[in-house]
């Protein structure tokens, strides 16, 4: 079938749908909903058998849904309607939620139902982004494939929405307002956690901290401390600040001070001099080290996978320590997002962004070098979450790369206007060959976990929720550590590395990459400055990238204007 994916952005969920539908044999193109005219024009050019909307904030134009079967993937159970579904589900403590595929009609979210999935929600309030990228995305991808299959059945007819049906348990909910997201530090910790997590990662919980109006993100339950008025910052640690609440404390990882041009930053950085004299305190850490059955595990969980200069330095230090321990296997384990490389928000907020970008790329290179230089142990990368750009390349320095089946990898830098570093010119061709490495970095398209294994980019893809996946990777590492042929495997690692270094030292790859990156960062030869600004400030796309929209490329039409464009 010819399928047009209509979306507000080509985000992780949309990428997964695009990959799975193509894997099922469908001809799939993408159109960003930049305007009603562009959406209508895209359908006229693509002539789709089905329009599927996995992530769409805009209303589907009437001209589209009347002329084409158009199905919306809505993040709520049957009968749920409104633009703030997940926000309300978390804020109100729903223990079961779902995703519904419904046909577009005049009234939003009120069309006939093509299918749905239900799933449990933890009692501890999840972050909205974790719920969306986890069970919601898994269910949405399943539904997208199911809808495409049903669309090919002449006898299939969707079921009209009927609130008398026992399967229809949702209801119409209004959009969340600013007032719904406001909270006071005098409220109980549980209430603050739920309020903020219902708005994480956008638009954040609204409150006042240190006399400044702020948006709060990335909150964690803190220790019980005697004394301290609600709203007082008691401590700081690794960029986070510890704030007193009505009945305890919370660690706040990230903040955005309200105001024009302000960006989301590590909380201590956002507050600046106001908390410079606040004491450091243990109890919060983005990086941990554990040992089990001959296996050392360095775990890191950086918010949204962004790695600042300081975070990279701490991670490199942790890896350096782990490499000196008397373990046989080192597992490098990422968090909800494995890594997306350098921290664009911190770079953009710096007084000298170019210099900060340069320091950041050198710091993440040091992380990669610690992984590559660990020749006293076998190294396993554990990717339970998505990875992009330098985050992918960082993981490829290991002997074994294990990814979760739902993971999306974006092994390229081009869309950010960068050549890239992180020793990618060594680790990527080493795994997939020079020709494939150039294709992956040049096409700038996502690949699935299954594709990664097929290409040799990863060694294993394992199913299951994140905690189960991490347990299975640890068991795999323990088997490696106990393998009778362990000494032979370790010797082979060392010999391969020595042969590679004789052919070309690692410093040569690094020097060549940094020479290119200096031109990108300081001379801005490929638009890094503007691409970074657009990403950080969430500037809406003006047109659909041509590599996602073959219907436009073939016709020579521009997504923004409909006029012919040249391709050079």
Tell the residue number behind the tokens 């049906």, with chain if given. Answer: 165
Element (H, E) at 24: none
In the predicted structure, residue 204 carries a pLDDT above the cut 50: yes
Q: Which residue spans within 349-483 are E strands per DSSP? A: 378-383, 387-388, 400-404, 408-410, 447-448, 460-462
305 within 8 A of 323, measured Cβ to Cβ: no
> To the nearest whole number, what is the mean pLDDT of the chain?
95
Per-residue pLDDT tens digits for 362-374: 999 999 999 999 9
pLDDT of residue 279: 96
pLDDT of residue 563: 28
Question: What Å distances lie between residue 559 and 8, 198, 199, 442, CA to CA?
Answer: 14, 34, 32, 22
**Mean pLDDT along residues 500-526:** 97
Count Cβ atoms below 10 Å from residue 148 Cβ, excluding itself: 22
pLDDT of residue 562: 33
Q: What is the mean pLDDT of residues 222-247?
A: 95
Rounded CA separation 316/521 (Å): 23
pLDDT at 421 over 60: yes
pLDDT band at 14 (very low <50, low <70, confident <90, very high): very high
Predicted confidence at residue 552, as pLDDT, reads 73
Give yes or no for residue 288 having a pLDDT over 50. yes
Q: Which pLDDT score, from 0 to 100, does residue 557 have?
A: 55
Q: Are strands 400-404 and 460-462 parallel, antiparallel or unpaired?
A: parallel
pLDDT of residue 550: 81
Residue 356: predicted pLDDT: 98
Q: pLDDT tens digits, residue range 331-353?
A: 999 999 999 999 999 999 999 99
**Peptide bond preceding 203: is omega within 30 degrees of 0, i.e. cis?**
yes
**% pLDDT > 70, the chain:** 97
Question: At 357, is the secondary structure helix, strand, or coil?
Answer: helix
Residue 119: name the closest of 90, 99, 144, 103 by CA.
99
What confidence tens digit (pLDDT) does each residue in 524-542 have? 999 999 999 999 999 988 8
Q: What is the pLDDT averaged over residues 28-40?
A: 95
Residue 409 has pLDDT above 90, yes or no: yes
Question: Residue written as tokens 């159109």?
Answer: 31
| Cα 108 from Cα 53, distance rounded (Å) | 13
User: So what's the pLDDT on residue 489?
Assistant: 96
Taking 50 as the threshold, does the pLDDT of residue 566 lie above it? no
Residues in the chain: 568
Does the pLDDT at position 387 exceed 90?
yes
CA nearest neighbour of 19 among 62, 54, 56, 67: 54
Structure confidence by residue, pLDDT tens digits, 490-507: 999 999 999 999 999 999
Convert the pLDDT of each residue in 131-161 to its tens digit.
999 999 999 999 999 999 999 999 999 999 9
Is residue 460 over pLDDT 90?
A: yes
**d(C-alpha 340, C-alpha 343), whole Å:** 8
How many of the other CB atoms lie within 10 Å of CB of 440?
22
pLDDT value for 554: 58
Structure tokens that stand for 310 in this block? 């300081």
């Amino acid at each position: 079938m010819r399928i047009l994916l209509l979306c507000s952005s080509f985000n992780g969920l949309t990428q997964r749908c695009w990959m799975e539908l193509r894997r099922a044999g469908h001809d799939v193109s993408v159109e960003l909903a930049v305007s009603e005219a562009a959406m209508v024009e895209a359908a006229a050019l693509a002539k789709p058998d089905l329009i599927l909307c996995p992530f769409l904030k805009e209303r589907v134009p009437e001209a589209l849904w009347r002329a084409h079967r158009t199905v919306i993937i809505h993040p709520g159970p049957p009968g749920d309607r409104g633009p703030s579904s997940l926000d309300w589900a978390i804020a109100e403590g729903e223990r079961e939620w779902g995703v519904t595929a419904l046909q577009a009609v005049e009234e939003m979210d009120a069309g006939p139902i093509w299918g749905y999935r239900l799933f449990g929600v933890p009692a501890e309030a999840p972050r909205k982004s974790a719920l969306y990228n986890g069970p919601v995305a898994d269910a949405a991808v399943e539904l997208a494939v199911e809808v495409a299959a049903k669309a090919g059945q002449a006898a299939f007819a969707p079921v009209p929405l009927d609130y008398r049906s026992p399967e229809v348990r949702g209801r119409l909910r209004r959009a969340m307002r600013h007032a719904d997201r406001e909270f006071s530090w005098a409220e109980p910790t549980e209430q603050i956690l739920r309020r903020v997590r219902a708005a994480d990662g956008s638009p954040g919980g609204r409150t006042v901290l240190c006399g400044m109006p702020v948006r709060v993100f990335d909150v964690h339950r803190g220790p019980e401390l005697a004394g301290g008025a609600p709203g007082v910052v008691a401590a700081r640690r690794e960029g986070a600040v510890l704030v007193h609440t009505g009945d305890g404390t919370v660690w706040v990882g990230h903040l955005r001070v309200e105001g024009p041009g302000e960006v989301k930053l590590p909380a201590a950085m956002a507050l600046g001099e106001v908390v410079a004299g606040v004491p450091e305190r243990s109890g919060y850490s983005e990086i941990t080290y554990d040992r089990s059955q001959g296996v050392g595990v360095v775990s890191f969980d950086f918010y949204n996978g962004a790695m600042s200069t300081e975070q990279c330095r701490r991670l490199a230090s942790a890896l350096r320590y782990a490499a000196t321990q008397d373990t046989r296997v080192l597992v490098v384990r990422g968090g909800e997002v494995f890594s997306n490389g350098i921290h664009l928000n911190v770079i953009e907020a710096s007084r000298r962004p170019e210099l900060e970008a340069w320091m950041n790329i050198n710091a993440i290179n040091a992380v990669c070098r610690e992984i590559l230089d660990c020749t006293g142990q076998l190294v396993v990368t554990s990717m339970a979450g998505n990875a992009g750009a330098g985050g992918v390349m960082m993981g490829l320095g290991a002997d074994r790369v294990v990814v979760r089946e739902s993971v999306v990898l974006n092994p390229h830098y081009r869309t950010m206007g960068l050549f890239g570093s992180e020793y990618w010119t060594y680790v990527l061709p080493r795994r997939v060959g020079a020709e494939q490495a150039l294709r992956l970095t040049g096409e700038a398209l996502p690949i699935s976990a299954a594709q990664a294994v097929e290409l040799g980019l990863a060694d294993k893809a394992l199913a299951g929720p994140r905690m189960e996946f991490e347990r299975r990777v640890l068991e795999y590492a323990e088997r490696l550590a106990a393998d009778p042929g362990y000494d032979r495997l370790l010797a082979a690692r060392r010999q391969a590395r020595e042969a590679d270094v004789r052919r070309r030292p690692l410093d040569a790859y690094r020097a060549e990459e940094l020479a290119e990156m200096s031109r990108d960062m300081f001379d801005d030869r490929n638009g890094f400055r503007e691409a970074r600004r657009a990403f950080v400030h969430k500037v809406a796309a003006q047109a659909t990238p041509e590599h996602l929209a073959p219907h436009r490329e073939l016709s020579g039409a521009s997504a923004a204007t409909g006029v012919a464009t040249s391709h050079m």
